[in-house]
Structure 1
Amino acid sequence: MPTPTPQAVLAPLTEAAIFLTYTLDGSEDGAATVRALLADVGGLRRSVGFRIPEGELTCVVGIGAHAWDRLFAAPRPALLHPFREVTGARHHAPATPGDLFVHLRAHRMDLCFELAQHLTDRLAGAASVVDEVHGFRSFDQRDMLGFVDGTENPEGDERAAAVLIGAEDPSYAGGSYVVTQKYLHDLTGWNALSVEEQELAIGRTKLSDVELPDDVKPSNSHVTLNTIVDEDGVEHDIVRDNMPFGRVGAGEFGTYFIGYARDPGIIEQMLENMFVGKPPGDHDRILDFSTAVTGTLFFVPTVDLLDAAADDEPVPVGTAVPSDSSSDSSSDSSPDSPPDALPDGSLAIGSLKGDLG
Structure 2
Amino acid sequence: MAREQLGICAEANLHASYLLFNAVEGQEPILRQKLARVPLLLARLAEHFSEAQLTGVVAVGADYWDSLYPGARPQGLQSFPLIASDNLAQAELWADLLIQVRSDRLDVNYIACQQILQLLKNSVDLLEQLQGFRYLDGRDLTGFIDSPHNPKGSRKRQLALVEPALQPVFAAGSYMYFQRWHYDLLHWQQLEASVQEEIMGISKIEGVLLPPSRLQPNSHAVACRLGNAENPPLLVAQNMPFAEQNSQGLLSLHYAGDPGSFSQLLAYQLGNKAANAGGEQPQSEQYDLLFDYCHVDLCAAFFAPSLSFLEMACRP
Aligned to 1:239: 236
**1:1-357 equivalent positions in 2, closer than 5 A:** 3-8=1-6, 9-25=8-24, 27-28=25-26, 30-166=27-163, 167-228=165-226, 235-247=232-244, 250-276=245-271, 278=273, 280-311=284-315
Residues 68-115 of structure 1, C-alpha deviation per residue, up to 9 Å, x if partnerless? 111123221102111121221232333221211111111111111111
State the identity %: 28
Compute the displacement of 1:48 (Å).
2.3
Compute the displacement of 1:242 (Å).
0.2
User: For residues 265 and 231 of structure 2, what CA distance do their matches in structure 1 show?
Assistant: 15
User: For residues 225 and 68 of structure 2, what CA distance do their matches in structure 1 show?
Assistant: 36
User: For residues 283 and 240 of structure 1, what CA distance do their matches in structure 2 show?
Assistant: 20
User: For residues 105 and 283 of structure 1, what CA distance do their matches in structure 2 show?
Assistant: 32
Matched residue type, 2:91: P
User: For residues 269 and 204 of structure 2, what CA distance do their matches in structure 1 show?
Assistant: 20
Residues 35-92 of structure 1, C-alpha deviation per residue, up to 9 Å, x if partnerless? 1211111221133223211111111111112221111232211021111212212323
1:135–1:243 contact (8 Å) kept in structure 2: yes
Q: CA 1:189–1:126 in 2, change beyond 3 Å: closer, same or farther?
A: same
Compute the displacement of 1:206 (Å).
0.5
User: For residues 96 and 191 of structure 1, what CA distance do their matches in structure 2 show?
Assistant: 29
Number of equivalenced pairs: 304
1:88–1:281 contact (8 Å) kept in structure 2: no
2:179–2:298 contact (8 Å) kept in structure 1: yes
User: For residues 176 and 132 of structure 1, what CA distance do their matches in structure 2 show?
Assistant: 22
Report SS of the residue matched to 1:196: helix
Compute the displacement of 1:236 (Å).
5.0
User: For residues 105 and 47 of structure 2, what CA distance do their matches in structure 1 show?
Assistant: 13
Q: CA 1:270–1:93 in 2, change beyond 3 Å: closer, same or farther?
A: farther
Q: 48-57 or 137-146, which moves further after superposition?
A: 48-57
1:239–1:259 contact (8 Å) kept in structure 2: yes
Matched residue type, 1:208: E
TM-score normalised according to structure 1 size: 0.81
Compute the displacement of 1:229 (Å).
7.8
Residues 231-266 of structure 1, C-alpha deviation per residue, up to 9 Å, x if partnerless? xx974521111000111xx22111011111111321
